[in-house]
């Protein structure tokens, strides 16, 4: 049975880190562990995972420090489960849990279509970091 579970306390599990790696540029073990540690110690982050039986299919990490908006820090779905609604279900779970006015995220060309399909307003930030990679600010009005 598929379910969404709290995953901050188990974020360092190999199978969860493997899912998280889908959203991380150059996902070395060290980079993934550093990211996981930062999320675990931050009291303003929440982590949820889509799980079916013993398989983690997707993960979302949010920052809820702003009472009016939540920010998606990471969202990832295992390659074999992409385009099956898992990412959308994770966002909807966060909307139901936190009731934000809006959700914001920053992404690149690889994921901007997902946010657009969900209904986010997309604003191009250009090559924000000077690395030849387009970045986008994505905003979804919940209310």
Give the residue from 136, 84, 142 showing the smallest Cα distance to 113. Answer: 136
Task: Write out pLDDT tens, residues 13-53.
Answer: 999 999 999 998 888 999 999 999 999 999 999 999 999 99
| Domain range 2-103, CATH architecture | 3-Layer(aba) Sandwich (3.40)
Strands (E), 1-134: 2-6, 45-52, 55-63, 69-77, 102-108, 121-126
Rounded to whole angstroms, the Cα distance separating 115 from 45 reads 20
What residue ranges do the domains of the chain occupy?
Answer: 2-103
Task: Write out pLDDT tens, residues 113-131.
Answer: 999 999 999 999 988 777 7
Task: Write out pLDDT tens, residues 93-117.
Answer: 999 999 999 999 999 988 999 999 9
User: Hey, is 31 helix, strand or coil?
Assistant: helix
């Amino acid at each position: 049975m598929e379910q969404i579970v709290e995953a901050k306390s188990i974020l360092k599990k190999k199978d969860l880190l493997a899912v998280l790696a889908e959203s991380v540029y150059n996902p070395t073990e060290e980079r993934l562990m550093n990211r996981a540690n930062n999320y675990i110690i931050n009291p303003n982050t929440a982590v949820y995972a889509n799980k079916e039986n013993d398989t983690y299919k997707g993960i979302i990490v949010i920052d809820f420090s702003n009472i009016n908006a939540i920010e998606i820090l990471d969202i990832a779905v295992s390659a074999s489960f992409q385009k099956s609604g898992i990412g959308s279900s994770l966002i909807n779970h966060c909307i139901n849990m936190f009731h934000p006015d809006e959700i914001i995220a920053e992404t690149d060309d690889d994921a901007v279509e997902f946010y657009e399909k969900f209904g986010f307003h997309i604003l191009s930030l250009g090559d924000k970091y000077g690395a030849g990679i387009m970045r986008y600010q994505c905003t979804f009005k919940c209310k």
